[in-house]
Amino acid sequence: MANTLPISINYHKPKLVVPSSVTPHETKRLSEIDDQGFIRFQIPILMFYKYNSSMKGKDPARIIEDGLSKTLVFYHPLAGRLIEGPNKKLMVNCNGEGVLFIEGDANIELEKLGESIKPPCPYLDLLLHNVPGSDGIIGSPLLLIQVTRFTCGGFAVGFRVSHTMMDGYGFKMFLNALSELIQGASTPSILPVWQRHLLSARSSPCITCSHHEFDEEIESKIAWESMEDKLIQESFFFGNEEMEVIKNQIPPNYGCTKFELLMAFLWKCRTIALDLHPEEIVRLTYVINIRGKKSLNIELPIGYYGNAFVTPVVVSKAGLLCSNPVTYAVELIKKVKDHINEEYIKSVIDLTVIKGRPELTKSWNFLVSDNRYIGFDEFDFGWGNPIFGGISKATSFISFGVSVKNDKGEKGVLIAISLPPLAMKKLQDIYNMTFRVIIPRI
């Protein structure tokens, strides 16, 4: 982690931002994909903007607050509150109560924060102030926004969004709308669509596929949970050079995507670092977006902003994963990916109802969500693109791939990982040894 500086922020009184015109008061049901137990949490996202002389005298807090009010007219369910119906079914009470907005002034220049603005950001709790009572799921604001001004004229925008309402692609639509309305549009270029019934359970729910992502392995789950309060986070960068080194571990013209290869490599290295018994079962959860895939025979409108993904899991014995070439893990990933079809998705949806929204297994599981194509580093609120934008930390066994530039200006993916200290040291050693040919001597 980069060296951190002591900073303080003077917060203004939090306020609720409501839609700028009257919106329908109604109750809307979430889909079963939205309603899964493991996404009942709030995602922290940070974006950092440099001072722009063309915006001199303009206050980013006022501009973003005004834009939010306009955007909520189109995304009015976000201004509501979640309630639970029969069998704890989540629904949105669209009451127009508003989203939580905070502004603050930091006592430091943005550039002095250096690399520490990237995950895992040590200033997250300052840049996304946890207003008491705001971090729940039921009855809490569905979105919290904080604009923090730095002494140089730069600023940070922090978002904490309820995952139950939308996934990364849905939030991208919301941010696109916010950016467009701030810059003068009267309506978003893509209008939001609710239609959560498209991913709801069948009239006679039936589990027809295997879903190892919800397996319960008590012993290893307890072992992991006993370590959770001791976890530390570090980030690992993968640019073109790093990916070439990993590609050299597989045969020429081997058919897989870059991210499949990266996931396989990280899963293997992380498992080696944990130093598990060879017979221990380990898992890799692969997040698959189901939008725009005609082969799945599930047509979602272009403006659908709800959660639209499944989380199949790859399973192996630790010893086999660690002792085999990385192609072993890639083949497991490809096999699981090839089995995702319309029936699998419907089976997951029905399982959510039948089994009462089970959590994803924590049993030596590792989940990596690729957020690069959401473009958190490309949203312009008038000051140009952010110098960094993305999910600002890992959470337990869940990691996020975010788009960053290294000190050479090369774009790559940065992945923050949570591990116990000894395992983290081993993982850092593996990383340094693997890429030693491109790590400068100090």
CA–CA dist 153, 57 (Å, integer): 9
Burial class (CB in 10 A: 0-12, 13-18, 19+), 56: exposed
Q: What is the mean pLDDT of the chain?
A: 91
Give the per-residue pLDDT at 1: 41
Active-site positions?
163, 380
Give the per-residue pLDDT at 295: 65
The pTM assigned to this predicted structure is 0.92
Highest mean pLDDT among 32-41, 178-187, 430-439: 178-187
Percent of the chain with pLDDT over 90: 74
Q: What are phi and psi of 34, to 5 degrees?
A: -60, -35
How would you label 305-335 residue by residue, b for 16+ Cβ within 10 Å and e otherwise?
A: bbbbbbbbbbbbebeebbeeebbebbbbbbe
pLDDT at 286 over 70: yes
pLDDT at 357 over 50: yes
Percent of the chain with pLDDT over 70: 97
CA–CA dist 389, 46 (Å, integer): 6
- Domains detected in the chain: 9-199 (3.30.559.10), 212-438 (3.30.559.10)
Name the residue among 83, 100, 158 with its Cα closest to residue 134.
Answer: 100
Mean pLDDT of 97-118: 95
Q: Calculate the dihedral angle through the C-alpha atoms of 254, 255, 259, 265, rounding to the nearest 10 degrees.
A: -40
- Candidate from 225-229, 237-241, 269-273, 383-387 with smallest mean pLDDT: 225-229
pLDDT at 81 over 80: yes
Name the pLDDT band for 3 (thresholds 50, 70, 90).
Answer: low
pLDDT at 188 over 80: yes
pLDDT tens profile 292-307: 776 677 889 999 999 9
CA–CA dist 242, 190 (Å, integer): 37
pLDDT tens profile 265-284: 999 999 999 999 999 999 99
H helix runs in 53-95, sequence order:
60-74
pLDDT tens profile 371-406: 888 888 899 999 999 999 999 898 888 999 999 988
Give the per-residue pLDDT at 100: 97
pLDDT at 28 over 60: yes
Give the per-residue pLDDT at 52: 94
